[in-house]
Amino acid sequence: MSKLDELIAEFCPDGVEFVELNEVLDYEQPTKYIVKSTNYDDSYTIPVLTAGQSFVLGYINEDFGIYKASPDSPVIIFDDFTTSFHWVDFNFKVKSSAMKMLRSKDNEIANLRFLFHLMKNINYIPVDHSRQWIGKYSKFRIPLPPLPVQQEIVRILDNFTELTAELTAELTARRKQYEYYIDRVINANNYQHIPLNDVAKVYDGTHQTPNYTESGVKFVSVENINDLYGTTKRISEVDFSKYKIKPQPGDVFMTRIGDVGTPAVVTTNEPIAYYVSLALIRPNKELLPQYLYFYIKSSAFRKELYKRTLHTAVPIKINKEDIGKCRVAVPPIKEQQRVIALLSRFDTLCNDISSGLPAEIEARQKQYEYYRDKLLTFKEVTG
């Protein structure tokens, strides 16, 4: 019998109490912690966070309005629109008001790290662009075993997450090397920079809230752009038929809301639908799609995007028209092919989910999810 089995037999053999999240978590609005300046610099010490995928947006030197967190006093930051969240145990500021800071109401009753793992077990995707915490998410009912059981579950699950974190740190280091190499290759020759509109057409996806179906056309948004053809989201053929611009091989998707500037290349004739959170860029014959993919990843293009991004919007976004104004260097096709050949191997190493570090991280993540589901499934006590 494992230690966890012994604790369950001792403290809750007949089941556990279920409560709503709002009964054990307090929330705080982020207003007084919102960054004033967006002049980020890696030499500064205070990180600016988002609860979305990018997490750390940059660093600033503001010495006021700092949220105090530490390993002894951690917090969960929660995106009030997407319901994504992160564990934070260091001081920080935030980018926007679309966030909640969550802490346990009583650490002797509900371990915050236990609640963090439980929240990851909540299978919920918002279907509308509205604030989620108060009206919906905080009302989810969760099992709340006695504290010793919570602590043992945390110990087990953290062993999995620590291994994943080590692999992720290694991948992050490799990706930084990759980004550095992209810039070296992209900027190796001083070619003229021209507006993207001169060599491509820019479109955006449907503004209609998707009505997901069990079968039909695959649907891509910010959340699944890194796995275009692996997405499980689908919309009906009828809804897809209303698209004026349908993706075709050689088109380049790019996120334009939230984590602005993540690209993906359309490589097959398989129909694929896309949300307004993405731009679809259709290069002309002067611009190779894979070269544009790498160029979007370069610091030169990131700067172009950043200065045109609406940072005061919730969530942050860049307008379709402004994407076309961003300037790109367009060398001869032979030079573009050389860039593609040089960078493709690095891209596979850092981003291919079927091999290398991403594949190992995915395997560890699935292992964690399996045990998380198993360990956090309890019978509700009756009577």
Upper half-sphere CA count for residue 381 (Cβ side, 13 Å): 15
Tens-digit pLDDT profile for residues 275-323? 999 999 999 999 999 999 999 999 889 999 999 999 877 788 999 999 9
Res. 213 pLDDT band, cuts 50 70 90:
very high
Residues 103 and 199 in one domain: no
Residues 185 and 197 in one domain: no
Residues 223 and 297 in one domain: yes
Kindly report the CATH number assigned to the domain that includes residue 215.
Answer: 3.90.220.20
**Residue 354 structural domain:** 145-189+332-383
Distance of alpha carbon 119 from alpha carbon 156, whole angstroms: 16
146 and 339 in contact (C-beta within 8 Å)? no
Residues 312 and 221 in one domain: yes
Residues 208 and 219 in one domain: yes
Domain C-terminal end among 286, 305, 330: 330
Instruction: Give me the DSSP letters along 305-373.
Output: HHHHSBTTSSS-B--HHHHHHSEEE---HHHHHHHHHHHHHHHHHHH-TTSHHHHHHHHHHHHHHHHHH
Average the pLDDT over 187-209 and give the result: 88
Residue 339 lies in a domain: yes
Does residue 157 carry a pLDDT above 90? yes
Tens-digit pLDDT profile for residues 312-366? 777 889 999 999 999 999 999 999 999 999 888 888 777 665 566 778 888 889 9
Residues 197 and 326 in one domain: yes
337 and 345 in contact (C-beta within 8 Å)? no
Domain C-terminal end among 315, 330, 345: 330
Residues 208 and 318 in one domain: yes
The residue type of 31 is T
Average the pLDDT over 156-162 and give the result: 93
Residues 291 and 352 in one domain: no
Residue 201 lies in a domain: yes
Phi first, then psi: give them for residue 183, nearest 5 degrees: -60, -40
Residues 127 and 155 in one domain: no
Residue 294 lies in a domain: yes
H or E element at residue 7: helix 3-11
Distance of alpha carbon 328 from alpha carbon 334, whole angstroms: 17
Number of domains in the chain: 3
Residue 1 lies in a domain: no
H or E element at residue 167: helix 147-186
**Which residue, 52, 300, 317, is CA-closest to 204?**
317
Domain C-terminal end among 312, 330, 348: 330
Average the pLDDT over 228-240 and give the result: 89
Residues 168 and 114 in one domain: no
Residue 8 lies in a domain: no
Residue 93 lies in a domain: yes
Kindly report the CATH number assigned to the domain that includes residue 160.
Answer: 1.10.287
Residue 7 lies in a domain: no
Tens-digit pLDDT profile for residues 92-151? 999 888 899 999 999 999 999 999 999 999 999 888 878 999 999 999 999 999 999 999
Residues 307 and 197 in one domain: yes
Residues 139 and 162 in one domain: no
Residue 10 lies in a domain: no
